Structure formats: C-alpha cells, structure tokens
C-alpha cells in the first residue's frame, strides 16, 4: 500500500520523536511526491529546562526536518512535562486546529508509553482525528514507537507495542540516521537506549521480520478504504 | 488507502464466508479494476453432509461470486469439519500453492473463531503468507469477521474481533445482500444470527462508526508499504 | 436471569448516554415492575456550551426518561469536560451519595472510552460500588456501550468492548428509538455515527448474535449470587 | 441474581472438577430448589489408568454428588487424555445430546487451562451451547476454575482466570469440603496444590473480595436477560 | 532465585501496603542478610483524615516494620488521595531521590489498581527505575498485589493481577500476620476483604499453586541477569 | 539475578532454536560455572526432509553447542512437523523424563508461535515443569523468542512476545554469532529474517532497552524464590 502522493502529518510530543518513530517514512513520502507536516507539541522550555535549550533543539529539529524533506514544521511551544497542566479541551483544540488546516491522509502519533507527554498527545490526537467531519477524510491513523520510552511500558500491565504495519525504509535508513544525529542534545552514545546504533538495530529488526532490510513499525488504529 | 487495481485473494473455509466477511469489498475491488480470487477450502461433503448438498452450495457460490464479480473461484473439496484430519503440512501446502500461483497483493482470511475450520484455515493461511519469497510481495494480510461464529468467541478468553480497517461498501451493500441471498441453504430468516437483516445491521454498524454508511471490518495482521 | 423487580441505577456522563447504552433495558425493567433511577453526572453547561443548551438537553432528557419509564432522574450539573477539574474524592463522593441512597441491585455505568468524561465516571462509579458496606448488596455492576465513543477506543491499545451480557429488548426497541429521538440536539442524521439508524443496527447486531432480535450489550464487571 | 429454581448443568472433564469448581454452587442450587446435573466427560480408564481405578473414582463421584445434592450424574466414559482422539464432531455431539435433553438455564464449564482435556471440553461445550435453537434458552454460560490446573496457565501467554461472577457459598463451604474429601484418590495433603486447605483458601479469597466469607468464582461467557 | 544479600526497596502508597504485598518477603530478606528499605509515599493526613490519624498509622507502621526487620523506613508525608495534586515531575523526583540514595537490587511497587494513589505511585516508580544510570543497576522491578484493591480492578477492562513470581514465605507467614495485626486501624474482622484471615488465605492460595505452603505473588516488570 | 552455578535446560523444537533464543545465555552460564543441557525434540528427518539432512543439522548442532559450552546435548529424533502425530502423553513423557533426570534450576522453552512445533513443545514442556514433585525445584521457567517465527504471530490475535527478563550477553554476542553461523543450513543471508545481521540487531535492541549492549529477552512464566 503505497504512501505515494499522500499528505502525512506526524504528531511529535517533543523534537526527535518524529525522526525516531517515522524519520524514514517521512523521507520516503517526500521522495514519492507526498507532502509531509510535523507538528511538535511540546518543547524543552523552562521551568524544566534552562533558557536556550529550546532554541537549540528547535535548530536541531529544523536541520533534521530538512534532511528528511519535511514540508512544514509546526512548533506549539508547550513546556515539556507541562502538557497535563493544560485543560484537556485546550490541548485537543490545538491539535484539532492543525488537523483541520492540514487535512492529512495519514496521521502518525506516538504510542502511549512511559512518558506522560506521549500519552497525553496520543489521547488528544485520537480525539482530533475521530472519523467525523474532516476526520472522516483521514485514511490511516497509526502510532509509531519511540525508542527507549515505548519499550519501557510495563509488560502486560500497560499496552505493549507490536507493529501491524511496517514501512520499508531500506533506501532511507541513511537519511534517518543522518537526521537523528542532528539531535546531538538528545542522542546518547552506544550502548545508550536512544543511540544511533540502537535505532538502526530496531529498524533492521522491524525490516527483516517484514520481508526487507530496514523498516519502521506502526500500530494501525484506524484505516479506511 | 484505495484497493484500486489490486489483486485480492479471499480464503473462505466454506461457501458463504467470503460474502459474509468480504462480499462488499470483493464487489468494490472488481468495480475498481482489481482482480479477485476466492479460494474455498472446504465444502459440504459427506460424511457430515448428504450427497448433493455440495453441488447445491457450489451452485450457490458460483451465482454469488458472479454478482460480486469474482474473477476466479477455486474449490478445494475438503469435507467440512474434516480439515483437522489432514496433516497440517498438506493443508498448508494446498493454500500455499494457490498463494504462489495467484501472487495476491491483499489476502483476506477468516478470523480464528468458534468454528474449528476457521481456526485451521487461519493458521494455514498465515503460514502460507509469511513474509518470505512470494509472501514478501503481499501488501496486506487481514482477517474478516464471519457473522454468527466470530462473535461467539468467548469474551476475554479467546481473541475478540475489533476492526482496525473498515472498507466503505456503501455503494455495494446491495450487491452484498444479493450475493448473500444466493446462499439460501445457509442464510436463515430474521432474527437468525446469519440473516440478511443481521448482515446488513453489522455493515451499518461498522460503516457508521468509521465515517460512512456501510462498511466491512477487518483486523489487519500485516501491512507493508 | 430476569431483572424483574430489580432496582436499577444507570450512571450517565451526559444526557443521552443512558438511552444509547441502556434505553431498552430501562424500559424493560420498568415494564417488569422494577425501579429505575438515572444519574446524569455532567451537563452541557458553560464554559464549553452556551447558556440555554443545558436546559434544552435537560428537557430532552426528561422527555426521554418518561418514555422508557425512568422512576427518578438525578442531574448533578457538573459542566461537561470539567469533571477532571473536580478533586477525585469529590466526584467519588457525589456518586457514592446516590448509590448509598438508592441502594440499587444493578448498576450500569459507561464503558471507559474515547470521551474523558466516560473514563472519569467509570472510575468514580467503580469506587462507589466496591463490594463493601452498601456496595456489598449490589448484585450486578456492568458497563454499557455508547455508540460513537466506545467504538473509537484504539484497537488493542485501549480496552475494546465485547459484551458478555445481552438484554433482550426486542419488545422495547421502539421505546428506545422514540426516547433517543427526543435528544434532537445530540442525534445526527444517517449515516451519522450516533444516528437512529446506527443505534438500531447495533441493537440488531447485539440481539441476533445472542439469540433474539434486538439487544443491548453489557460488559459485566461484578456479579454476585 | 439468584439461582433459585434454575436447572444447572456442570460439565466436568474428570470426576472432582465439578466439586473443585462448583461444589458449593451445586449445593446452594439444590438447597434453593433448583435441579442440578453433572456431566462427567472423561474417566480414569485404561490405557492411562489401571483397571479398577475408574470404578473407584466413579464411587467417589457418586458419594460426592450425593453430598452436594446433584440430581443426575452422567458419565460418558471417554478414557482420560484420549478426548483428542475422538473426532471433534463426535465429542461435540455427545455434549450436545446432554444439553438438548437437560435444557439447562445455566451451564458451567471448565476454564481452558493447562490440562488439554479441559481445553477440549471447553471448546465442545461452547459449540454445544451456542445461542441457537435449544442453546438460545440458556441464560448463563460460565467457566469455573480448577485448582492446580487453571492457575498453571502461562501468565499473559494463555488466558488467565479473573472472575466476574462470584457465588456466595458461605453456608455451603462445609458441603464442598466434605464432597471434595470423598475424592481421596485425587486430593493431596497440604501443602498440595489440590489439598482441602488450598481449596478452602481459594474460596475464602474469592469470597472476601466479593463481599462475603466464602465464594466460588466464575468467568461469564454469555448471559442473557 | 534467592534474594539472599539483596538490597530490597518496597514502595508503599500508604502504611500497610508494604506488609499486605510483601511482608513475608521483607522478613525473609532480612533473615537472609539482605537490607530492606520501605518508602511510604502518602499518609493519613488532613484534609481527608483528622489530626492524629497520621501519627497513629506511623506508629503502627514502625511496629510492623520492626517485626519484619525493615532496615530503614522513609515516610514522605503527602496527604492521602492528594498525590494527583502534585506536579508529576515532583512526585517522580521524590521517589527518584530515594532510589538514587538506596541503590536497590530489587524494587517492589504497587500494582496499578482501583486506588488512584496506587496507580500514581506505580507510574512514578516506573519512571524512577528506568534502566538508565542508577536504574540500570536494578536487577528486578516487580509489582505486588494489595488485597481488596488489586482484585477490584474491572476484569478485562483494567489490568488483572496474575503473578509470574512467587516468593516462598512459609516460614514467615507468622511474621506477616503479626506485622499486619499492628495495623489495627486498617485491618477489618473476617469476612472483611482485608482481614487477617483473607490475607492468610491469599498467601496459602499463592503458595500452594507454586509448590509450597505460603507465598507472596509478584508481577515481574523487568528482570536483568 | 545471577545464573552463576545454575543448571540450565534449554528445550529446542529444532536444531538452531536454542542458539537463536538462548545462545548467549548458554555461553554465559557455562562461563559462570553452571551446567547447561540442550534438549532438541525434533529433527530434519524424512518424510519432510531427505535422508542425510538430519545428520548434517546434527553435526551443525554439535559444533554450535561446543562453541557455547553446552554440557550435554540430547536429541529425541521426532521427525519435524510430525510432533502432532504423537499422542500428547507420549511427547509429555519424553520431555518429563529429561526434566526428571536433569533436575534443572532453569528451564528455557520456545514461545508459542507461528510454528506448530513450537506450540507443541511449549505445551508439553509446561506440563513437564508443573510445580509438583521435581517440578517444584525449578526456579525459573521462561520462554525465549525465535527470530522469524515468534514475530510472525498475528498481532493481538495470538500472544505477542514482550520480554520481562533480559540477560546481558554483551560479552557473549561473538559466541552467539559464531555458534549460529555453524547452522549454515538454517541461516540465510541479510536481509533474511534469520540472518546473522538480524539476530545481532535483535540482541542489540533487547540489550540497549534494558541497560546494556546486547541481550537475550525472555518471557518469565514462573519464578520461585
């Protein structure tokens, strides 16, 4: 099922999640003539982060997005770990506004995992993509995995990620690696759980189990045909 | 995600399962220029059924297939409820041969449910569609629901069907109803669990929850892009 | 297992949920000499809704309740989507007070689904019905499904509704339809996900799979005998 | 939800399962004027067991049944662990015949667990109690737990028993203990997993968590009202 | 797998949870030369509790801890049911500080259940024990069951406790009972769900199903070797 | 939790499963002074395989076992895919005999997956390791993952592997790779799903998510302490 020509919206809780989860898919869509939009909901802002950190990750994000050919980058500037402080309807509305304007065919959102922000963005994005009005035009809603958070969900107590959709990114694994290495503030050295090597290992594992070399795995929530 | 131009293989344990589970999808694919093949694994043969019943259901199947535009109908002639008597590797091989010859883009198989034949066909089809050699060309493997068997799985002991893919069959619900009514030996009057009314109600329930009037729900097992 | 003579409490997050989930069951209980109480926790109040909307839905609710023979209607007047703003112990207490006063044999609560209010009411009602003191007198605690929210839970990430209890409402489907149509502010035209047609289709699907024409499905959480 | 006046059929794979799983419930039904039937599918026959063992357990069963007031005891005489050798349709038919003759309101069957015979009896009983024809008259189909098999299911790989129905057997725990001690060939001394002490501990655990002293827990598969 | 010589940290939402869930294990570790630390996060403080209640439970806790040989008792003094009022990062930090100082080999935390405080402590402890930096030294992270809360989770909607690790506390069941009876403000008389009898019954059930007389069951979340 | 000094039994359906699933763990145990035994249940015998294939894989197995320091290699010689033809009690008995003689502290068995032989060996090994008599001495029963079968289980229909135990094999990844490459008849070139590269990628993914470089993941079924 080709993504050629599709408009793809990736919702990222923080800068780097979009590359960890869907960097290769973004690059592939761009190559195939699709439009790609990344909505980054939260940022490394005070009070949890010092002044300046936000700008640094913003710069990293912009460079990473350029590498994988992101068409539009939207940053909402909610301070990291403060998403829960917003009234739910407000967070829902912020995401809904973007969905309404972008009118995506495919929405990729974070799997609800150990990081509370991931769960909140998951929840709000699902509300914003319900199959009513604009939402009824969406063809695929799917969750990506975020290395070193998704796999820290408690086994069999919390949901555990098992992909039912794998995108072949064999030709785009270099782009993914390159984009991820832009995030020098986020990526750790091997054997760090979010190292370049771990990211590539996951991609090889997902790919080889699906019939090709490198892949990105997704959990399809709703597909319409 | 359009199925236009795809080669679709529906594996049915018995005649009528393909219409119950995917009759509208078959009609839609045919209309959109795709090729459709139905593999019926088992039939109403002795010893469980009297002589002549098989021919009757075969005739019903052929008429139903014509209505939804099935391109090729394959009948394997294994006596119903006797699938378990075959060595597993033989059943696997029979299905694998068809997959290898047809080279489908999409394989639709029965959800493993209360009917033992459904579970055996599910198992063998999954083996035959593993993502190796020819299997690596398959884009979607998904399970359909079979009214009055799938929903008799024991809640929370056996797997319970929840669709993650719904095909809009609003324009094909008449074809589905018409094809199903060919199976006069299988369909019961309302409020029978496999009545025309129940079938249409399920289609309306699936459709309206996904954003349109009538739908057929599937559980995606593997999608590759 | 007859509900004849039972005192049934339906806890609804918003007006119309009680009819969508248990309208036929309410009508049946009333007919069979039981007492029925509906507790509506939240309402269409400012700030999310304009002045006057609340009164309109209240009026709709009262007319709907009259049709299905509700004995007592309690409205708590918490603004919709603001349930989460209340301290949990306060929400728990409000529901507990009603349970304590009503002393129901059967408590029907919303399945925890896409609507945050449904999850909060689910949680608080489960606390209020724990099998201690008055709670130990409750014979059945069960969750109903709310069309167009319950079925939007993410498949296999969030809990997915599968009924293990179906109430035969074949003789009461007209009452359910009539009561639901009182909620003209809430119900949409077909193929809307909460249309009268979709509601009836779900009832036919649940009923025919359980052995009768129309049914309402529930997920039993605790039954004592 | 009282079982008073109900006709209850307990399907036991082997002698003693009916007492382990539902001994108190059987005694309670009998006391409340209901009819109780126990269908024991398999027995301790050659080749796995020596001649004479069967008669001994039969005698134990009859004494146990007398204590809890079983109205009718049916023994099918399939050799233990040989259930899988029967064609499935034959096993289905044997159980179906009993269901058809008894016309029970309540059917209690073994939870599918570590013992292969339990899984086979579970499967065949579910087929025999489908909600069609006679099956549509059944009000409750539920699975009981069998100490020292049910709890050996692999956690989170196989289904794990969690009761949603608990029958208060506080007044019948003595009967249960007495009936179980008839099975001197099956029961082991404490701390054996199937000892009288372990059985009573489980009953106390189930009971106290549901609001009373001693209980028997069941997993409801289908309830109709 | 012996716990001899291990440093064990039990995180308790409220006083008595550590004994209910792991009292025997604590006593066994102490006997085997290990170090044990109990972190009690919340207390019976105003506004939910009257002045003086906190001191009483603190005294009960200290006596209970002495009986099972707890090496260090830490009390954080967050008012009960007010955990959700704290910013998540603050609660995370409080627990993380203790983990960092104690450097435990084994961390035992509450299973996420009906009590909201249990879910919040579960969440924060999982964040504090992620396998990075100090967390990578932890050998086992596991959840214990809390009688009369854990077993009130809604079956098959919320996670249901099934142990995959049982600690043989046959020699320590007297210590557990003795320690629990220190909590006279918390423990109810039989057949109360948190009575001494119910606690002992659960221990016997867990133990006998695992091969010994009395046991404490845990759900392993992460073990490293 | 160290495995130093433990007697470890790995049950492999076919030659190579023990290395794929637990090759590093076997090497580590051997290095740490433990005893390791591999029981290979089935072999590449006629009729599915030609004469001579069995001997070749036997030779490969012996060389692989030497590399990871297996102390004893037992081969049962049941023809591959013919396990289901054996009476279940016979297969159970064959495995039970080995367990009884070896008296292992740790038993590692295949996760029940797409390969029918894996499911049958899983079932029989669980029966053979029940916590009674010799079985009560076993400290850990855990399932390993078999690349390119385990991950082909249907998502959310069949059980999906999520490890709760990871063994650090960073120092033994070379041994694992070397042992696996002995199986030249079984291993395919990259990007084959069972290639050396895919195996190493999985090990890196498991390891980095658990706090170290390379790991082998297991699903703990029962641990006793």
CA D155 from chain centre, in angstroms, equals 22
Record: contact A163-F155, CB cut-off 8 A: yes
Strands D35-43 and D106-110: unpaired
Question: How confident is residue B45, by pLDDT bands cut at 50, 70 and 90?
Answer: confident
Q: In this model, does residue D80 exceed pLDDT 90?
A: no
Q: Hey, which residues 185-214 in chain D have their CB within 8 Å of chain E?
A: 190-193, 195, 197-198, 200-202, 204-205, 207-209, 211-213
pLDDT band at B189 (very low <50, low <70, confident <90, very high): very high
| Interface B:E, Cβ pairs < 8 A | 3
Q: Does residue A85 have a pLDDT over 90?
A: no
Q: Give the model's confidence band at E48: pLDDT under 50 very low, under 70 low, under 90 confident, else very high.
A: confident
Mean pLDDT over each residue of chain E, to the nearest integer = 96
pTM of the prediction? 0.97
Question: Please, what is the Cα angle at B156 between B154 and B158, to 5 degrees?
Answer: 55
From CA A62, how far away is CA A52, in angstroms rounded?
A: 15
F45, pLDDT greater than 90? no
Give the pLDDT of residue A141: 98
Identify the weakest region by mean pLDDT among B171-185, C42-56, C106-120, E3-17: C42-56
What is chain A's mean pLDDT, rounded? 96
In this predicted model, what pLDDT tens digit does every residue of D93-108 receive, in sequence order? 999 999 999 999 999 9
Query: If you average pLDDT over residues F132-154, what whole number do you get?
Result: 96
Computed on alpha carbons and rounded to an integer, the radius of gyration of chain C in Å comes to 16
Residues in chain F: 225
Place of tokens 């034949």: B117
**Given this model, what pLDDT does residue B149 score?**
96
d(CA E214, CA E24): 9
- The residue of chain A nearest to residue D156, with distances taken between CA atoms, is A156
- Helix then strand then coil, in percent of chain E rounded to 5, is 45, 20, 35
Q: What is the mean pLDDT of residues B20-36?
A: 98
B144 close to B118: Cβ distance less than 8 angstroms: no
Q: Are F111 and F143 in contact (CB under 8 A)?
A: yes
CA D219, D221, D223 angle in degrees (round to 5)?
110
Between chain B and chain C, the number of residue pairs with CB atoms below 8 A apart is 78
Alpha-carbon span F20 to F41, nearest angstrom? 16
Give φ, ψ of B155 to 5 degrees.
Answer: -55, 125
The answer, yes or no, to whether residue D81 has pLDDT greater than 80, is no
C-alpha B23/C-alpha B200 separation (Å) is: 12
CA distance E93 to chain D (A): 32
Which two tokens mark B71?
């391109």
Count of CB atoms situated within 10 Å of the CB of D110: 30
- What Å distances lie between residue F94 and D153, F11, F39, F88, CA to CA? 21, 12, 10, 10
pLDDT digits (tens, 9 = 90+) for E124-150: 999 999 999 999 999 999 999 999 999
- Of A217, A166, E132, the C-alpha closest to F208 is E132
Confidence tier at D1 by pLDDT (50, 70, 90): confident
Confidence of residue E47 (pLDDT cuts 50, 70, 90): confident
C-alpha C123/C-alpha C114 separation (Å) is 14
Give the separation between CA C211 and CA D137, rounded to whole angstroms.
8
Residues of B in contact with F116 (CB under 8 A): 88, 123
Contact flag A156-F170 (C-beta cutoff 8 Å): no
pLDDT in tens, F8-27: 999 999 999 999 999 999 99
| Average predicted confidence (pLDDT) for chain C | 96
CA distance E218 to F180: 35
Chain C contacts of B204, Cβ < 8 Å?
A: 191, 197-198, 201
- Check residue E82 and give its pLDDT: 82
Judge whether A203 and F196 are in contact, CB under 8 Å.
Answer: no
Contact F106, F8 (CB under 8 A): yes
Q: What is the mean pLDDT of residues A29-36?
A: 97
- pLDDT-based confidence at E46, cuts 50/70/90? confident
Mean pLDDT of C2-6: 94
E155 to B156: CB separation less than 8 angstroms, yes or no: yes
- Cα gap B142→A220, rounded to integer Å: 12
Residue with tokens 């499963």: F17
Write the pLDDT tens digit of every residue in E51-77.
888 999 999 999 999 999 999 999 998
CA atoms of B62 and B72, how far apart (whole Å)? 10
| C-beta atoms of B220 and A224 within 8 A | no
- For A136-179, the pLDDT digits (tens) are 999 999 999 999 999 999 999 999 999 999 999 999 999 999 99
Is the pLDDT at D136 greater than 80? The verdict is: yes
Residues from chain A that touch B220, judged by Cβ atoms under 8 A, are 164-165, 220, 223
Q: Average of pLDDT values for F133-146? A: 97
User: ipTM of the assembly?
Assistant: 0.96
pLDDT at C46 over 90: no
For position B195, what pLDDT does the model report?
A: 97
Residue E81 confidence (pLDDT) above 80: no
Q: What is the 3-state secondary structure (H, E, C) of chain A?
A: CCCCCCEEEEEECCCCHHHHHHHHHHHHHHHCCCEEEEEEEEECCCCCCCCCHHHHHHHHHHHHHHHCCCCEEEEEEEECCCHHHCCHHHHHHHHHHHHHHHCCCEEEEECCCCCHHHHHHHHHHHHHCCCCHHHHHCCEEEEECCCCCHHHCCECCECCCCCCEEEECHHHHHHHHHHHHHCCCCCCCCCCCCCHHHHHHHHHHHHHHHCCCCEEEEEEEEEEC
- Section D199-210 average pLDDT: 98
Tens-digit pLDDT profile for residues E147-187:
999 999 999 999 999 999 999 999 999 999 999 999 998 89
Helix (H) or strand (E) holding E184: none
- Using CA atoms, how far residue D195 sits from A176, C55, E209, F74, F126, in Å, is 60, 63, 10, 36, 21
Angle between helix axes F196-210 and A196-210 (nearest 10 degrees) is 130
- To the nearest whole Å, the CA of D149 is away from the closest chain A CA by 21
Mean pLDDT for C106-135 is 96
Residue E55: CB atoms within 10 A of its CB come to 12
- Region of poorest pLDDT, from A72-81, B43-52, F114-123, F155-164: B43-52
E50 has pLDDT over 90: no
Cβ within 8 Å, pair E204-D212: no
d(CA D171, CA D28): 8
The pLDDT tens digits of the residues spanning C71-83 come to: 999 999 898 878 8
* CA pair distance B17, B4, nearest whole angstrom: 23
Question: Which residue(s) pair with D12 in the sheet?
Answer: D40
List all residues 6 or more positions away from E63 whose beta carbon is below 8 Å from its beta carbon: E182
- Terminal-residue alpha carbon distance, chain C: 11
- What CA–CA distance (Å, rounded) separates A146 from E100? 25
Phi, psi of D66 (to 5 degrees): -60, -40
Query: What pLDDT shows up at residue B89?
Result: 87
pLDDT band at D185 (very low <50, low <70, confident <90, very high): confident
Which has more pLDDT, E183 or D82? E183
For residue D191, whether the previous peptide bond is cis, meaning omega lies within 30 degrees of 0, is yes
Q: What count of other Cβ atoms lies within 10 Å of the Cβ of residue F189?
A: 8
**Which is nearest to B76 in space by CA: B120, B108, B50, B40?**
B40
- Smallest CA-to-CA distance from E173 within E205, E218, E220 is with E205
Residue C131 tokens read as 């099998």
- How far does the CA of residue E94 sit from the closest CA of chain D (Å)? 32
pLDDT tens-digit map of A102-146: 999 999 999 999 999 999 999 999 999 999 999 999 999 999 999
pLDDT of residue A139: 98
Cα angle: B71, vertex B76, B81; to 5 degrees? 125
Residue E139 in contact with partner chain F when CB distance is under 8 A: yes
Average pLDDT, chain D: 96
Binding partners of A (≥3 Cβ pairs within 8 A): B, C, D, E, F
Neighbouring subunits of E (3+ Cβ pairs under 8 A): A, B, C, D, F
Q: How far apart are CA E89 and CA A202, in angstroms?
A: 29
Q: Look-up: residue for tokens 């435990």?
A: E104
Please answer whether residues B40 and B73 qualify as being in contact, where contact means their C-beta atoms are separated by less than 8 angstroms: yes
Strands F165-168 and F35-43: unpaired
The whole-angstrom separation of Cα C65 and Cα E196 is: 47
User: What is the tens place of the pLDDT at every residue in D206-225?
Assistant: 999 999 999 999 999 999 99
Q: What is the pLDDT of residue D202?
A: 98
- Nearest residue of F to residue A193 by CA position? F208
- pLDDT of D21 reads 98
CA distance D53 to D58: 9
Residue corresponding to tokens 């993509």:
A129
- Which residue is it, tokens 């916590």? F131
- pLDDT reported for residue D51: 83
F152 Cβ under 8 Å from any chain B Cβ: yes
| CB-based contact A127:C148 (threshold 8 Å) | no
Tell whether the model's pLDDT for residue F81 goes beyond 80: no
pLDDT digits (tens, 9 = 90+) for E181-217: 999 988 999 999 999 999 999 999 999 999 999 999 9
Query: Does residue D82 register a pLDDT over 90?
Result: no
pLDDT tens-digit readout, B79-110 = 887 888 888 889 999 999 999 999 999 999 99
D162–chain C Cβ distance below 8 A for any pair: no
Q: Which residues of E touch B160 (CB under 8 A)?
A: none
What band does B47 get if pLDDT is binned at 50, 70 and 90? confident
The mean pLDDT value of chain F amounts to 96
A81, A82, A149, A157, best to mutate vs chain E, most E CBs in 10 Å: A157
Closest C-alpha among C144, B154, F149 to residue D111: B154
Answer whether C123 touches E (CB < 8 Å).
yes
What's the rounded Cα separation, in Å, for the pair F4 and F139? 13
Residue B17 has pLDDT above 90, yes or no: yes
Q: pLDDT at position A49, please?
A: 86
CA-to-CA distance for F114 and A209, rounded, in angstroms?
13
CA B197: distance to chain centroid?
Answer: 19
| Residue of C143, C150, C209 to mutate when probing chain B, most B C-beta within 10 A | C209
CB-CB under 8 Å, E111 with A154: no
Residue A63 has what pLDDT? 98
């Amino acid at each position: 099922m080709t993504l050629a020509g599709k408009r793809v919206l990736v919702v990222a809780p923080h800068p780097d999640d979009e590359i960890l989860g869907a960097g290769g898919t973004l690059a592939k869509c761009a190559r195939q003539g699709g439009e790609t939009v990344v909505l980054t909901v939260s940022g490394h802002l005070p009070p949890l982060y010092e002044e300046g950190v936000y700008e640094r990750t913003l710069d990293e994000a912009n460079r990473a997005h350029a590498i994988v050919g992101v068409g539009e980058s939207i940053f909402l500037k909610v301070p990291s770990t403060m998403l829960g402080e917003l009234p739910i309807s407000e967070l829902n509305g912020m995401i809904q506004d973007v969905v309404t304007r972008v009118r995506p065919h495919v929405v990729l959102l974070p799997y609800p995992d150990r990081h509370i922000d991931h769960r909140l963005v998951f929840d709000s994005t699902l509300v914003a993509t319900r199959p009513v009005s604009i939402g009824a035009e969406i063809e695929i809603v799917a969750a990506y995995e975020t290395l070193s958070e998704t796999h820290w969900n408690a086994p069999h107590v919390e949901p555990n990620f098992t992909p039912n959709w794998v995108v072949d990114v064999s030709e785009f694994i270099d782009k993914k690696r390159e984009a991820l290495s832009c995030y020098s503030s986020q990526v750790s050295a091997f054997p760090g759980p979010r190292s370049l090597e771990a990211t590539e290992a996951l991609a090889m594992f997902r790919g080889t189990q699906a019939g090709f070399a490198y892949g990105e795995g997704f959990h399809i929530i709703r597909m319409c045909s």
